[in-house]
C-alpha cells in the first residue's frame, strides 16, 4: 500500500531493442511531453520533468509528483427554485428526482442564486484519486501518441511499438506501480550495457536511476550529456593527431543515439585517397560510416585520419580500429573509381540522357524540368539585369551530375560533383560554382549562394519545384513533405531577401507556370503556391523573434516582392518602438472601424471649405505637409523613413478624435471627414495595416 504522506519521484522506463537513431531524440522528448501533459490533465502537480534516451530505452523522471489528486468540491445544479416546490411549499417530482440522482434527500440540497434566477444545487466533496491508479492509463496514452511513423509487432501478441519491448520500469517513490505498459509487466529492474552489464540492475528509487546505470551498468542515459561527451572525445582525439575534428551537430546527435557508452577510436587511411575531392571523403566517412573526419590545423585540407565512436570499452581497441579501417577502404576505392570514370564523359554530353529520367509523373522528365528552369533563369536574370546567358547555361548543366556514378553512390553530393566535373570540362568558374549553389541552402541556417548566377539558378530551381509539385496535386500535408517544399520555399525566400534580389514573387510564379505541362492547372495553382510561401515567410520572421502582429500588419497588404516585404517588416518593427506607435495604431483601428461602418468606399476628395473644426483643419494641413514628404519615400520603398515621418501626425490625429465628431448629422460634413480619414489611412496602408498591431 502506497503512503499518501508526501510527494514522490516517478521513474518510467521502456526497455527495447535498438531504436531508430535519427528518431531517438524526438521519441525521448515526445514521451516526456506526453507524460507531463497526461499528469497535468489529471491535475497531478510535479516539480520537474527530465527525459532520457539511449538506443535501448526511453525514460522519464518526474520529480516531486503529487501522490494523489486534490479533493475538490463538485457542484451539481438542479431545477429552478420555482419548479422545485409547489404553491404549498412541497418538493415537486423534479426536486425529488434531482435529489435521488445525487444520492441524498431534498432537505440536503442548497439554493444558489445567479443572474438568471435561483436554483437547487447539490454540493459534494469528491476525493482525489491516487496517482498510482491514474498512472497506467497516462502511460498507455503517452506511448500510443508517440510520433512513430511505422510501428511493428513481435511475438504472437497484438502490441505495437517502434521496436520490441523487453522490460519496463514504473517506480513511484520506492514502490513499483502495478501496470503493464505495452503488455510487459512493470518492475524495478533496468538493464545495463548489452556487453558490459547485460544483466538486470534493481533501482531502489528514481533518484538512483542515472547514477546506477552509469556506475554499474556502463550506460549514460542522459542524451544531451552523451552528445557533449562524444563531441569532447572527438575533439580531443583529433587534437592528439595535431588536427581539428570536422564535427556536424547532426552527426554528433546520430552517433549519440547509437551508443550507450561512447569510446573514441582513431583510424587511418591511405594517403592516395586524399587526391579525391574532400567532400567525397567527408561524405563517405560521415554519411556512410558515421566517422568524424580530421582536418589539418588550417581547417582546409583533410588528414588521412578519422575518429569512430565505439559502443564498447574494448580490451583490444586495435581490433576495433583495424575493423573500421577495413570498412572504409572499399568505400574510398569505389569513390576513386567513380571519380576517374565520371570525368571521361563531359557533363554536357550527359544532358540527352535526362530525357529518360522521370522527375514526376505529371511534370515530365528531368530534361523537361531542365528546360523549364533554363527559361525561368532567363526571365529572372532579365529582371535583375544579370548575365542571362550564363544563368541559362548553368541551368542546362544543372541536373547532369545526377547521372554520374559518384552522385549515384553519394546522393548528398549532387551539385558539388557537378561543380568539380564542370571545372574539369573547362566550364567558366561562375557557371561551375552555380551548379553547386543551386541546392543552397541545404538546411536551416546554411550558407546562401554567393555568385549572381548561382542565386538565379537556386531561385529558379526552387520556384519550379514548389509550383510544379503544387500543380501536380501533391503539396505538403501535416508533417509530410516528401519533396522538401517547405525547405525549398524558405530557401528561395532567404536568397531573395538576404541577397537583396528585387523580384516579384507572384510574377515569377506565373512565369514558372507558363513552362509546366498543359495537363496540370499551373496558372490556377499560383495563388496557393504564393500563400504557401508567405506562410514559410511567417516562420522565417517568427524564428527571428519578429512580433506576429508586425508580420500580420504587412501580410494583409499582400506585397508580392519579398525584399519589399522585408523592408516593411523592419520599418514596422522600428515603428513599434516609438512612443507614438500605440496611439497611432489605436487611431488606425478606430479609422478602419468608422470607415467600415460608414459603408461608403468612395467618399471623394477633401473639401477644405467643409472643414469646420480647428482640429480637423490642423489635421488636414499636417496630412498635406506629410504627404508631400512621405510619398517620394514610399515610391522608392523607404518605409522606415516614411513611418518615422508619419509618426509625427500623432498629435494632430489625437486632437481630431478628441474634438471632432466624425459622423456629423450634416451629410456633406460627414462625408468630408470620412474622406480625410480615408486619406490618412491610405498613407499608412502604403506600408502596412498598423491597426493590426497589438496594444500594451
Same-domain pairing of 602 and 504 = no
pLDDT in tens, 522-558: 999 999 999 999 999 999 999 999 999 999 999 999 9
pLDDT over 90 percentage in the chain:
76
Q: Which domain holds residue 264?
A: 223-342
Strands 186-187, 165-172: pairing kind: parallel
Domain-ending residue, one of 215, 233, 253: 215
Same-domain pairing of 58 and 189 = yes
Same-domain pairing of 163 and 36 = yes
**Distance of alpha carbon 35 from alpha carbon 39, whole angstroms:** 6
Q: Kind and range of the H or E element at 49?
A: strand 48-54
In a domain, 489, yes or no: yes
Same-domain pairing of 381 and 268 = no
Count of other CB atoms within 10 angstroms of residue 114: 8
**How high is the pLDDT of residue 602?**
62
pLDDT in tens, 559-616: 999 999 999 999 999 999 999 888 888 888 888 888 888 775 565 788 888 888 899 8
**How high is the pLDDT of residue 192?**
96
Domain-ending residue, one of 324, 342, 360: 342
pLDDT over 70 percentage in the chain:
99
pLDDT(115) > 80: no
CA dihedral sign of residues 533, 534, 537, 542: negative
**How high is the pLDDT of residue 216?**
96
pLDDT(695) > 80: no
- Specify the higher pLDDT residue, 311 or 110: 311
Q: How much is the average pLDDT of 189-211? A: 96
**Distance of alpha carbon 645 from alpha carbon 627, whole angstroms:** 9
**Which CATH number fits the domain that encloses residue 416?**
1.10.3210
Question: Sheet holding 244-245: strands in order across?
Answer: 244-245, 292-295, 302-310, 263-268
Contacts of 189 (CB under 8 A, 6+ apart): 167, 169, 200, 201, 202, 203
From residue 422, alpha-carbon distances to 4, 70, 76, 354, 393 in Å are: 74, 72, 79, 17, 11
**Distance of alpha carbon 46 from alpha carbon 66, whole angstroms:** 6
Same-domain pairing of 33 and 166 = yes
Same-domain pairing of 499 and 582 = no
**How high is the pLDDT of residue 3?**
42
Same-domain pairing of 646 and 631 = yes
User: Mean of the per-residue pLDDT values for the chain?
Assistant: 93
Q: What is the DSSP string of 545-580?
A: T--HHHHHHHHTT--S-HHHHHHHHHHHHHHHTSTT
Q: What is the DSSP string of 195-238?
A: TT--SEEE-SSGGGHHHHHHHTT-----HHHHHHHHHHHHHHHH
Q: Is the peptide bond before 560 cis (omega within 30 degrees of 0)?
A: no
- Nearest residue to 422 via CA among 414, 413, 431: 431
In a domain, 632, yes or no: yes
Domain-ending residue, one of 215, 233, 250: 215
pLDDT(127) > 60: yes
**Which CATH number fits the domain that encloses residue 205?**
3.30.70
Q: How much is the average pLDDT of 96-102? A: 87
Same-domain pairing of 379 and 513 = yes
In a domain, 107, yes or no: yes
Same-domain pairing of 492 and 522 = yes
In a domain, 556, yes or no: no
**Which CATH number fits the domain that encloses residue 645?**
1.10.730.10
Q: Are 222 and 284 in contact (CB under 8 A)?
A: no
As a dihedral over the C-alpha atoms of residue 553, residue 554, residue 557, residue 561, rounded to 10 degrees, the angle is -170
DSSP state of 77: E
Same-domain pairing of 251 and 338 = yes
In degrees rounded to 5, what are phi and psi of residue 605? -90, 160
Q: How much is the average pLDDT of 364-382? A: 97
**How high is the pLDDT of residue 2?**
41
In a domain, 561, yes or no: no
Q: How much is the average pLDDT of 470-479? A: 90
Q: How much is the average pLDDT of 342-357? A: 97
Same-domain pairing of 93 and 37 = no
Tell me the range of 86-100, 108-122, 147-161, 277-291 where mean pLDDT is highest: 277-291
What's the domain count of the chain?
5
**What is the maximum alpha-carbon separation in the chain?**
109
Q: How much is the average pLDDT of 71-83? A: 82
DSSP state of 400: G
**How high is the pLDDT of residue 106?**
81
- Specify the higher pLDDT residue, 660 or 441: 441
Q: What is the DSSP string of 594-606?
A: HHHHHT-S-----
In a domain, 562, yes or no: no
Specify the pTM: 0.82
**How high is the pLDDT of residue 162?**
95
Question: Sheet holding 72-80: strands in order across?
Answer: 72-80, 117-126, 110-114
Q: Kind and range of the H or E element at 388?
A: helix 388-397
In a domain, 1, yes or no: no
Helices H, strands E: what count in the chain? Answer: 26, 19
In a domain, 228, yes or no: yes
Same-domain pairing of 198 and 231 = no
Amino acid at each position: 500500500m502506497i503512503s499518501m504522506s508526501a510527494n514522490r519521484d516517478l521513474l518510467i522506463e521502456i526497455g527495447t531493442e535498438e531504436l531508430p537513431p535519427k528518431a531517438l531524440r524526438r521519441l525521448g522528448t515526445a514521451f516526456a511531453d506526453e507524460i507531463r501533459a497526461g499528469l497535468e490533465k489529471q491535475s497531478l502537480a510535479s516539480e520537474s520533468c527530465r527525459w532520457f534516451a539511449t538506443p535501448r530505452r526511453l525514460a522519464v523522471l518526474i520529480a516531486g509528483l503529487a501522490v494523489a489528486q486534490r479533493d475538490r468540491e463538485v457542484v451539481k445544479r438542479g431545477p429552478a427554485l420555482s419548479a422545485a416546490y409547489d404553491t404549498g411549499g412541497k418538493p415537486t417530482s423534479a426536486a425529488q428526482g434531482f435529489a435521488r440522482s445525487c444520492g441524498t434527500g431534498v432537505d440536503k440540497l442548497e439554493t444558489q442564486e445567479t443572474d438568471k434566477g435561483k436554483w437547487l444545487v447539490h454540493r459534494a466533496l469528491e476525493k482525489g484519486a491516487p496517482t498510482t491508479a491514474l498512472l497506467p492509463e497516462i502511460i498507455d496514452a503517452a506511448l500510443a501518441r508517440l510520433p512513430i511513423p511505422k510501428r511493428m509487432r513481435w511475438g504472437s501478441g497484438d502490441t505495437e511499438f517502434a521496436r520490441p519491448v523487453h522490460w519496463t520500469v514504473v517506480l513511484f517513490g520506492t514502490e513499483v506501480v502495478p501496470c503493464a505498459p505495452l503488455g510487459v509487466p512493470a518492475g524495478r529492474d533496468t538493464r545495463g550495457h548489452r556487453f558490459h552489464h547485460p544483466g538486470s540492475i534493481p533501482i531502489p528509487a528514481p533518484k538512483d536511476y542515472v547514477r546506477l546505470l552509469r556506475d554499474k551498468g556502463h550506460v549514460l542515459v542522459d542524451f544531451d550529456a552523451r552528445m557533449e561527451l562524444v563531441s569532447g572525445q572527438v575533439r580531443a582525439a583529433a587534437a592528439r593527431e595535431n588536427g581539428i575534428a570536422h564535427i556536424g551537430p547532426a552527426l554528433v546527435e546520430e552517433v549519440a543515439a547509437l551508443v550507450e557508452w561512447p569510446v573514441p577510436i582513431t583510424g587511418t587511411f591511405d594517403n592516395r585517397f586524399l587526391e579525391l575531392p574532400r567532400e567525397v571523403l567527408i561524405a563517405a566517412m560521415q554519411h556512410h560510416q558515421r566517422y568524424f573526419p580530421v582536418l589539418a590545423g588550417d581547417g582546409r585540407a583533410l588528414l588521412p585520419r578519422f575518429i569512430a565512436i565505439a559502443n564498447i570499452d574494448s580490451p583490444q581497441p586495435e581490433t576495433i580500429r583495424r575493423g573500421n579501417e577495413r570498412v572504409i577502404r572499399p568505400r574510398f576505392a569505389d569513390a576513386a573509381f567513380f571519380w576517374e570514370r565520371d570525368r571521361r564523359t563531359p557533363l554536357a554530353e550527359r544532358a540527352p540522357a535526362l530525357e529518360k529520367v522521370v522527375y514526376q509523373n505529371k511534370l515530365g522528365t528531368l530534361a523537361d524540368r531542365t528546360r523549364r528552369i533554363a527559361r525561368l533563369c532567363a526571365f529572372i536574370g532579365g529582371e535583375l539585369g544579370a548575365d542571362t546567358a550564363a544563368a541559362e547555361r548553368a541551368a542546362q548543366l544543372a541536373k547532369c551530375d545526377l547521372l554520374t556514378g559518384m552522385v549515384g553512390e553519394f546522393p548528398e553530393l549532387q551539385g558539388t560533383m557537378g561543380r568539380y566535373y564542370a571545372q574539369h570540362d573547362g566550364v567558366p568558374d561562375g557557371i561551375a560554382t552555380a551548379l553547386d549553389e543551386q541546392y543552397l541552402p541545404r538546411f536551416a541556417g546554411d550558407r546562401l549562394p554567393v555568385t549572381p548566377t548561382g542565386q538565379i539558378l537556386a531561385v529558379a530551381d526552387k520556384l519550379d519545384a514548389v509550383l510544379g509539385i503544387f500543380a501536380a496535386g501533391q503539396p505538403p500535408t501535416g508533417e509530410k513533405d516528401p519533396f522538401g517544399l517547405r525547405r525549398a520555399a524558405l530557401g528561395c525566400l532567404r536568397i531573395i531577401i538576404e541577397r537583396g534580389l528585387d523580384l516579384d514573387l507572384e510574377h515569377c510564379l506565373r512565369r514558372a507556370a507558363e513552362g509546366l505541362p498543359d495537363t496540370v492547372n499551373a496558372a490556377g495553382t499560383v495563388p496557393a503556391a504564393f500563400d504557401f510561401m508567405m506562410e514559410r515567410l511567417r516562420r522565417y520572421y517568427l524564428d527571428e523573434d519578429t512580433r506576429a502582429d508586425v508580420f500580420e500588419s504587412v501580410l494583409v497588404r499582400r506585397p508580392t516582392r519579398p525584399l519589399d516585404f522585408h523592408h516593411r517588416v523592419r520599418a514596422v518593427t522600428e515603428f513599434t518602438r516609438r512612443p507614438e506607435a500605440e496611439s497611432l495604431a489605436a487611431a488606425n483601428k478606430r479609422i478602419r472601424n468608422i470607415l467600415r461602418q460608414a459603408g461608403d468606399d468612395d467618399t471623394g476628395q477633401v473639401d477644405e471649405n467643409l472643414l469646420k473644426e480647428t482640429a480637423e483643419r490642423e489635421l488636414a494641413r499636417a496630412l498635406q505637409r506629410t504627404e508631400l514628404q512621405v510619398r517620394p519615400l514610399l515610391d522608392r520603398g523607404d518605409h522606415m523613413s516614411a513611418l518615422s515621418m508619419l509618426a509625427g501626425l500623432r498629435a494632430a490625429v489625437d486632437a481630431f478624435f478628441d474634438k471632432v465628431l466624425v459622423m456629423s448629422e450634416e451629410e456633406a460634413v460627414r462625408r468630408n471627414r470620412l474622406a480625410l480619414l480615408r486619406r490618412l489611412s491610405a498613407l499608412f496602408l502604403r506600408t502596412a495595416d498598423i491597426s493590426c498591431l497589438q496594444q500594451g
